[in-house]
Structure 1
Amino acid sequence: MEKVTTLFLKVAVILLGVPVLALCIFLVPELADIAEELLPEFGLIKVFVYIIFDGSAIPFYFALYQAFKLLRYIDNNKAFSNLSVKALKKIKYCAIIISVLHLLALPLFYLFAEVDDAPGVIFVGLIVPFASLVIAVFDAVLQKLLHEAIAIKSENDLTV
């Protein structure tokens, strides 16, 4: 049963990467073109959009890879190891990087809201940074719990 569960989660991790890849291929160039039309006085706005959105895909895929490694550790009965703690730490840092990158893009969402006179666009721009921050905090808590469980396990192994 445990192998089936981790197999399902591995497939889910792989499938999480597909929509982000599609967004990077199809939506980011559209956003860059729109930003260039809205702000012609900023010559590098198109590059800025690519750096923010395509650049945040790199830590996202690295975090997915770390999650996949974590699931392999679970399959190999190495869930309570320092390798798992390191993978969780890397996922936390990736989530923080994604959050910071998307916070840098908030002025762009503000400009979109100004043009369309739609203040709700700013809240849409806050979804990814907030979600990434929640993931980072949850990951930090999970990392601390796992570290304490490893300490208890090693203490129990020494007792026996």
Structure 2
Amino acid sequence: MKRGSTLFLKLAVFLIGLPVLALCIFFVPEFAEFTGVLLSDFPVIEPVVFIYMYLTAVPFYMALYQAFKLLTYIDRNQAFSDLSVKALRVIKFCAITISVLYVVLMPVIYMVAEIDDAPGLIMIGMIIIFASAVIAVFAAVLQRLLQEAITIKSENDLTV
């Protein structure tokens, strides 16, 4: 693969991380404070939401790092290696983790949306869950295909 296309994809991976970083810096503290005000019956809800939202950013950035590593393996002509399979496995588990974390957080999001009369908030949570699930399935399929390709390649290398 040409280096220009992987360079573009590496840039895209970097640019995907920037809005999430901006959300973590500006939106998460405001959302946690807003949740604490709306759900004042639960005194610990503000720090829990704050920590939980940052906790969901960790697997996101781990997956981005693995995607960057995968593109580096492609640059080095190591696309069909166990390293690539491992990177896809980590991406799959990170996506599953994000989905599970947001499924657990959805009751809080639902309560905030009910009190504030903001049904779009529920849709945002559902989109995050659905997108993470799709990425997990896609990574699992690619992982399996890549593992089969590596197996076929190693069998062909042994027959020569």
TM score, norm. by length of structure 2: 0.95
Distance 2:125 2:76 in 1: 40
Corresponding residue for 1:106? 106
Following superposition, the deviation at residue 50 of structure 1 comes to 1.5
Whichever residue aligns with residue 92 of structure 1, its letter is K
Please say if residues 52 and 104 of structure 1, whose CA atoms lie closer than 8 Å, have aligned partners that are also in contact. no
Between the aligned residues of both structures, percent identity stands at 63
Please say if residues 52 and 102 of structure 1, whose CA atoms lie closer than 8 Å, have aligned partners that are also in contact. no
Corresponding residue for 1:86? 86
SS of corresponding position for 2:77: coil
Distance 1:63 1:8 in 2: 18
Distance 1:129 1:58 in 2: 16
Following superposition, the deviation at residue 118 of structure 1 comes to 4.1
Counterparts of 1:4-153 in structure 2 under 5 Å?
A: 4-153=4-153
SS of corresponding position for 2:115: helix
Distance 1:40 1:67 in 2: 40
Note the residue ranges of structure 2 that are not aligned, 5 or more in a row.
Answer: none
SS of corresponding position for 2:42: coil
Whichever residue aligns with residue 45 of structure 2, its letter is I
Whichever residue aligns with residue 63 of structure 1, its letter is A
Distance 2:8 2:98 in 1: 25
Please say if residues 39 and 112 of structure 2, whose CA atoms lie closer than 8 Å, have aligned partners that are also in contact. no
User: What does the per-residue CA deviation read over 1:87-107, in whole Å, with 9 as the maximum and x for residues that have no partner?
Assistant: 000010111111111112111
Whichever residue aligns with residue 93 of structure 2, its letter is Y
Whichever residue aligns with residue 4 of structure 2, its letter is V
Whichever residue aligns with residue 131 of structure 1, its letter is A
User: What does the per-residue CA deviation read over 1:130-157, in whole Å, with 9 as the maximum and x for residues that have no partner?
Assistant: 1101100110000000000000000111
Following superposition, the deviation at residue 52 of structure 1 comes to 2.0
Whichever residue aligns with residue 134 of structure 1, its letter is V
Following superposition, the deviation at residue 120 of structure 1 comes to 4.3
Give the CA RMSD over aligned residues. Answer: 1.2
Aligned pair count reads 160
Please say if residues 28 and 53 of structure 1, whose CA atoms lie closer than 8 Å, have aligned partners that are also in contact. yes
SS of corresponding position for 1:41: coil
Note the residue ranges of structure 1 that are not aligned, 5 or more in a row.
Answer: none
SS of corresponding position for 1:55: helix
